[in-house]
Chains A and B, each alone.
Chain A
Amino acid sequence: MTAAWFVVARLARDRSALIGLVLIALLVLAALLAPLLSTHPDDVFELHPSERLRAPSGTHWLGTDRMGADVYSRLLFGARITILIGLIAVGASLAIGVPIGLVAGYHHGWASDLLMRVSDIFLAVPQVVLAIAIAQTLGPSLPNVILALSVTYWPWFARVVYAETRALQKEAFVESTAALGASPWRLTVLHVLPNIASPIIVRASIGMGFTILTAAALGFLGLGPPPPTPEWGRTIAESREFLPDAWWYAAAPGLAIFLTVMGFNLLGDGLRDVLDPRLRRSPSRDG
């Protein structure tokens, strides 16, 4: 636990990383406490056509949408969707990509070449395009969005893990633990994996941002969860015909997406700086 605290303390020194951390914290808070923080929690489902497209005011902090629902409240509940999509998609990519990367990295031969070529093929296609193709084929729904994103993002993890595993194989401690008689399983899971945790964490953070952006794109194109789900991308799509008059209708979810993605990217960058070089330093060696 102290290691985690150490990381946070170090992160705090980096201003942009701190901003990232704050933004993510806000997102998480919004998602967790949506029922408490929202002013009109029922607006996720209820319609008030008489109040449609009202500008931001005292009762509706970010105005209302075309159904008269409170934009602010829907935004908060939308945060839940956003986080859910991000976490599950990135989690699934991790679960697929990391083992593939480990196996490909550990072995030398046609099997590992094959695995990496497959992941290269996935990487060659832009993620958005591939996700659109999959979501389109399977139909618009939340699970399908998550599936599409997982299937397109895992190669990033595989590649990072593969490169790091290969690099680590040359390290003396890996070679010597192998010489001690450690099995490949023990080596990869107990020794290699903890040592490459940092790049994986960094990639996961950046992946969250990337995935959320792609999810919003899918939602915008109508391939995401259907209405009345307050998904941010779909909200922007809905707002299009009312622009530029009902500017708040697009600005709110747009800004939310922007800040979320930026937050994850800043956090990821900050983590990258903090995690690796610092932890390898040995404070007790004499300078």
Chain B
Amino acid sequence: MAELLAVRGLRVDFATDRGPAQVLDRINLDIAAGEVVGLVGESGCGKTTLARAILGILPEGSARIREGEVRFRGTDLLTQGPAAMNEHVRGRAITFIPQDPFTSFSPLFPVGTQIMDLMKWKSPRAREQARPASLFGRYPRARQRADREAVLETLRAVQIPEPARALRRLPHEFSGGQRQRLMIAMALLPQPDLIIADEPTTALDVTIQAQILRLLRALVKERGVSVLFTTHDLGTAHELCDRVVVMYAGQEMEAAPTDAFFGRPAHPYTRSLLASVPGPDGEIRDIPGEVPSLVTPPPGCRFHPRCDHATAECRVERPQPRALADGHGVRCHHPVDAPAGAGA
């Protein structure tokens, strides 16, 4: 399968008061065309950093990309200059849905103005700019009309009632759920190949979340767009994704199609994580120990201090990716072979 996005050996450090924090440790990640991939993990695991690294929006002062490549449609994004990234990739081939719908819009301008501003630069109908983008770029009338049609149609697709009137309203007049629908619309309008959604439903109520998840999945499947969906909620990953990748402390641990991931998890961390979700039986299991510091992370596999199966090998060498079955990869020296629930 042709990979749309392939991250190889990505290493990112953040500068902190106590020295560099090794936030991403030689990560590998694959996303195929039209695939919805979930990136799950607990706070501090690095999933948001990975999403930002792909988009090229890591904080300049403190983040340092040490090594690795991010291949998107064959080109390594890390070697692209900021101008090229802005023109072709960011907001166009790869778009972004942020976590917080409440602060994603400027409160001063109507929603329509903000969306049309987006279309001025990122519309699929825009021709390649001979001159660099500036505040005074031309926005031809014909294209403007076509873009506006596309905007109204997309707003209907995300189920915003009365799209034409909605465009005239200010952001604070929309609820959180509606704003997230608007963000989805804005992510779809440039006709991207990949949407990166960073915990888009965390701040929403569960019934609204259900509506948004259903909508998002339907739309991306219809348009053949790939999605990288980061979340710490395993249930939403199960709802939305075709494949799930789990990260812990800056290392990816396991990647598998959704059914296999939740039904036959092979990595001890995945198993412990699934076991700690409150089950209907009322049994609650937690994972002993604490998340390690990224400034002085444990060597080898970073989960080894909390892992029941750890051996000397785990403490020294990070496991290489191993394919267990079709599409099911794990990085573990002692992957577990039994279905979920049969022993930790």
Contacts and interface: CB of A to CB of B under 8 A. Distances in A.
Touch between A and B in complex, CB under 8 Å? yes
Contacts of A244: none
Contacts of B14: 287
Contacts of A283: 17
B220 interface: no
A286 interface: yes
Contacts of B212: none
Contacts of B294: 286
Q: Tell me if A's interface is mostly helix, strand, loop or mixed.
A: loop
A286 B294 CA distance: 9
Contacts of A287: 14, 16-18, 21
Q: Tell me if B's interface is mostly helix, strand, loop or mixed.
A: loop
Interface string B261-297: 0000000000000000000000000000000011000
Interface in A253-287: 283, 286-287
A283 B295 CA distance: 14
Contacts of B44: 286
A283 B18 CA distance: 10
B302 to A, nearest CB: 14
A136 to B, nearest CB: 53
A283 B294 CA distance: 15
Nearest to B17: A287
Contacts of B21: 287
A279 to B, nearest CB: 16
A195 B16 CA distance: 28
B44 to A, nearest CB: 7
Contacts of B18: 287
B111 to A, nearest CB: 31
A283 B44 CA distance: 17
B167 to A, nearest CB: 37
A93 B293 CA distance: 49
A202 B113 CA distance: 45
Interface string B12-24: 0010111001000
B249 to A, nearest CB: 11
A287 B16 CA distance: 7
B13 to A, nearest CB: 12
Nearest to A287: B16
A6 to B, nearest CB: 16
Interface in A98-125: none
Interface in B1-60: 14, 16-18, 21, 44
A286 B18 CA distance: 10
Contacts of A286: 44, 293-294
Interface string A129-145: 00000000000000000
Interface string B295-336: 000000000000000000000000000000000000000000
A9 to B, nearest CB: 16
A41 B14 CA distance: 62
9 contacts: A283-B17, A286-B44, A286-B293, A286-B294, A287-B14, A287-B16, A287-B17, A287-B18, A287-B21
- Give 9 closest A-B pairs by Cβ, nearest first: A287-B16, A286-B293, A287-B21, A287-B17, A286-B44, A286-B294, A287-B18, A287-B14, A283-B17
Given A283-B17, A286-B44, A287-B16, 6 more contacts: A286-B293, A286-B294, A287-B14, A287-B17, A287-B18, A287-B21
